[in-house]
Structure 1
């Protein structure tokens, strides 16, 4: 890569890091940049996962105040669920032909955008069906765990829009403030990327230069994004997540 291309990859990492900690569609910025530089899709995907790992780390550190508000069993369940799911996703990436699972991604993202958008109304409707309202849901139910694991699989395989999906799963399954859900989502992406990245280092073809340049930008972007995400009003954050997800899906359908 030339000097300007190095700068472009670092800038993509910075922007993707910010997106990791806010709306959760980081790979839709960084992955196309790697493809545009001529890196083969599977190599670009694996290198992108490795390069964005520092963003999730710095983002989770930036959200440490929000994460302290979550019950420890819930945090552990999110980490383990996504990590285990990512193992399956990384295996799929290495075993299946390119594009098999990714072809479903736009439709999965659109579906989860719909869930994110209507989640407050659905939650109120479900609670109104009970004559005696139940307590707040602060632990992972089997259904929430199942869909979180599926999101981990997707994150390990391709990852574009995985943050949107995880926001939908956790936002619908847990009665937590959206900023806390955003923090948990960032931690979930960290778990998935850490496991998938470890597998890719062992067995996948990587462009270490691209991964390193992405990492330089993403470690700063992830921390900056956590502060932006903390200050965004819940309604605005929800709108931005839906918009980002729809744009991502449309771009992937082209």
Structure 2
């Protein structure tokens, strides 16, 4: 591997870890860098998912107290996330590389629009999920689980923007408690990625040299994200991700 390629991959991992710790959207950086390094689109997607898993596990560990206190409450969400992640990852393994490459610009466009509309999406989900007593109705809770299943399938298949849609699903089932929602998000994201990683590894879709470089850098980026997250407004990082997503979407449509 050339030094410039290794530097590009390390920079993408660093950026992914940083923005994931603050606002989400790191897949924009890692997936695009892996494609630029010469990997086929499906291999780049699988490698990106594996590479950022250690950083996501670290984030989930940071919420271990909240998770331990709400294991029963999150049980259904966890099961749905595992099932959806398995389905999405399996769909990727049986998808033709050329067909997936044609889907990539549309997937990036979808994820970018999600980031741009995320405040309104989450606010709408919270209004849908609440009753007068500030708790979700049975129907709203069931709808939230069905929504989460769809999010998990998308996450297992591609993943960019998954966190934003998941926040909307969790706003329906869990209400307004930020720490509760964030801990549930990290749990569900981790489960989706873990099951997807197993499928990708078994299918032989992972390029390990690139995985190591991006993975180490993403862990470092995750730590820096905590540091900078205390100084930079999350909205600034979110709009940076939106701009990057828009630029990458345009690039992939042109190519």
> Is the 1:24–1:161 Cα contact (8 Å) retained in structure 2?
yes
Q: Which deviates more from structure 2 when the two are superposed, residues 148-157 or residues 165-174?
A: 165-174
Q: Deviations over 1:15-53 (max 9, x none)?
A: 212222332211001111111111111111111111111
Per-residue CA deviation, residues 154-212 of structure 1 (Å, 9 max, x unaligned), is 11111111111112221344213334423322222211111001111101332110011
Question: What is the distance in 2 between the residues matched to 1:232 and 1:171?
Answer: 26
Contact preservation (8 Å) 1:112, 1:168: no
Label 1:25 to 1:126 Cα distance change in 2 as closer, same or farther (>3 A): closer
Equivalent of 2:246, from 244, 247, 250?
A: 250
Q: TM-score, normalised by structure 1?
A: 0.80
Between the aligned partners of 2:71 and 2:134, the Cα distance in structure 1 is 18
Matches within 5 A, 1:124-163: 133-137=132-136, 141-163=141-163
1:18 is the counterpart of 2:18: yes
Matches within 5 A, 1:64-75: 64-67=64-67, 71-75=70-74
**Equivalenced residues, count:** 245
Inter-partner Cα distance in structure 2 for 1:12 and 1:2 = 16
Look up the match of 1:210: 210
- 2:82 corresponds in structure 1 to 83
Structure 2 vs 1, CA of residues 216 and 107 (structure 1 numbering), >3 Å: closer, same or farther? closer
Q: In the alignment, what sits opposite 1:197?
A: 197
List alignment gaps of at least 5 residues for structure 2.
251-255
Quote how far apart the aligned CAs of 1:111 are. 4.8
Contact 2:129 2:173 in 1 (8 A): no
Q: Give 1:92-241 correspondences, 5 Å limit.
A: 92-96=91-95, 97-99=99-101, 102=104, 103-104=106-107, 106-107=109-110, 110-111=113-114, 113-114=116-117, 116-117=119-120, 119-120=122-123, 123=126, 133-137=132-136, 141-225=141-225, 237=234, 239=235
Q: Whose helix proportion is higher, 1 or 2?
A: 2
Indicate how the Cα distance of structure 1 residues 153 and 245 shifts in structure 2: closer, same or farther if over 3 A, else same.
farther
Report how far residue 8 of structure 1 moved: 2.7
Q: CA RMSD in A?
A: 3.2
Distance 1:200 1:122 in 2: 32
Greater CA drift, 184-193 or 145-154: 184-193
Q: Are 1:116 and 1:171, in contact at CA under 8 Å, matched by a contact in 2?
A: no
Shift in CA distance, 189/143, structure 1 to aligned 2, threshold 3 Å: same
Give 5+ residue unaligned stretches, structure 1: none
